[in-house]
Amino acid sequence: MSVQVAASAAGEDGRGEPIRGEPIHRSGDNRRCTRAPGSRDICGCSLAATSRATAALRHSLLATPESLAPDPGGAAKDTSAAGDPWSAWLLSRRQGGRDLQPDQRAELNCYRDGVLAGADVNYGDVLLDVGCGDGLIGFGAIEELGDAVQVVFSDVSAELLQRCAQRAAQMGMSDSCRFVQAHAEDLADVGDLSIDVVTARSVLIYVSRKRDAFAEFFRVLRPGGRLSIFEPINRRLFPEHANLFWGWDVSAVADLRDRVAAEFEGDSRPESQSMMNFDEDDLVALARDVGFDAVELVLHVADEPASQQDWESVVHSSPNPMAPTLLEAVTASLDAAEATRFLNALRASVEAGMGRYRTAGAYLRARKD
């Protein structure tokens, strides 16, 4: 099942055309999603159509203890979170210490294209990519418009900003790029009324002061500027059924499930609570509250059978930068015998594709008049 909801909030003058939210299904390659010339639709891949790739990114799974020996060929990367947790997660722990696979890259490109479509970037624009990571959206704009667009890459991670700077130099685009280390809710190094487009993908989910972040987006935008973001809506996905663990069937070890889940769900840090304390209605309300004149949102919800996953490729994965890997969570919550029993049951479900796969995410765009 795939559900799509479109919401629109116009300013007091009544402007703001109704949004159209038809999903764009990708064909399995890395080409951009297409949209009609001049279209202002928020373009994005259907979550139902791409959930198999997303599963490998977000619902990472464990190996049994005996399968955890290092690859003598050195194929796996270090998955330690020591140092910069944001860089470590994005570049390694998210995909279990391995390189992104082609279908995973295609999935990320779909999110990139959805955000850029909502941004409607034009020649001569200055784009601020908040929480840029390794530059997915910013470099996507450069690939589309070349040096006709200026990009300000902003992130809390110095390591990721350095990686973006190196890539810009390799592309010969350093003169078109600027790099700012900052939190989304404090963009002090970005001037008032200096930006044409603000973009972000899966950033506010980690921000406890979401209204402050929206206020900063509004402050830096020029009149007529656009905001385009994508955010997961985790509130729609939890709590899970007692026989499921991250979508996989663990009915055979239901007695152990809650103890493992508590390693993730029991985190009381503000940055962890921020992942669950908002939904699509809150995003619209926050944008309107800080002054955006026209706000439009498309919600994608998918619920479908799980697909088979390669056990080894996701053995050390972590669902977010603040979380342990699933192996770490099992080790911390269960004794050796329990861990073996839980992991064996989970592995059987992963490799057989037994369970439900559910996602929820929202594309929002807004205009400052």
342 within 8 A of 259, measured Cβ to Cβ: no
- pLDDT computed for residue 366 by the predictor: 98
For the entire predicted model, the pTM comes to 0.78
Residues of the chain with pLDDT under 70: 1-82, 96, 266-272, 312, 314-315
Residues sharing a CB contact under 8 Å with residue 265, sequence separation 6 or more, in sequence order:
238
| Cα dihedral across residues 5, 29, 126, 215: positive or negative | positive
Return d(Cα 369, Cα 364) in angstroms, integer.
17
pLDDT at 268: 54
Q: List the Cα angle 160/162/164 in 5-degree steps.
A: 70
Please tell me the CATH superfamily of domain 2-367, with its number: Vaccinia Virus protein VP39 (3.40.50.150)
Domains in the chain: boundaries: 2-367
Both tokens assigned to 338: 């329990």
pLDDT for position 334: 96
Q: How far apart are CA 107 and CA 45, in angstroms?
A: 8
Query: Other C-beta atoms within 10 Å of 366: how many?
Result: 30
pLDDT at 74: 32
Asked whether the bond before 239 is cis by omega within 30 degrees of 0, the reply is: yes
Q: Alpha-carbon distance 21 to 24, whole Å?
A: 9
Residue 106: how many CB atoms within 10 A of its CB? 19
> Residue 359: which of 235, 208, 269 has the closest Cα?
235
Instruction: Report d(CA 269, CA 257) in Å as an integer.
Output: 22
Amino acid at the residue 292: F
- For residue 153, give both structure tokens: 């890459």
Number of Cβ within a 10 Å radius of residue 288: 17
* pLDDT at site 75: 34
Backbone angles phi, psi at 54, to 5 degrees: -60, -35
Q: What is the pLDDT of residue 41?
A: 40
Q: What is the dihedral of CA 41, 14, 230, 169, to 10 degrees?
A: 80
Distance, in Å, from the CA atom of 331 to the CA atom of 70, rounded to the nearest integer, reads 17
pLDDT for position 287: 98
Please tell me whether residue 184 adopts helix, strand or coil conformation: coil
For residue 257, give Cα distances in angstroms to 132, 155, 272, 303, 354. Answer: 35, 35, 20, 21, 16
Geometric angle at alpha carbon 194, from 192 and 197, rounded to 5°: 115
Question: Alpha-carbon distance 336 to 338, whole Å?
Answer: 6
- Say if residues 121 and 145 touch (Cβ distance below 8 Å): yes
Amino acid 156: pLDDT: 94
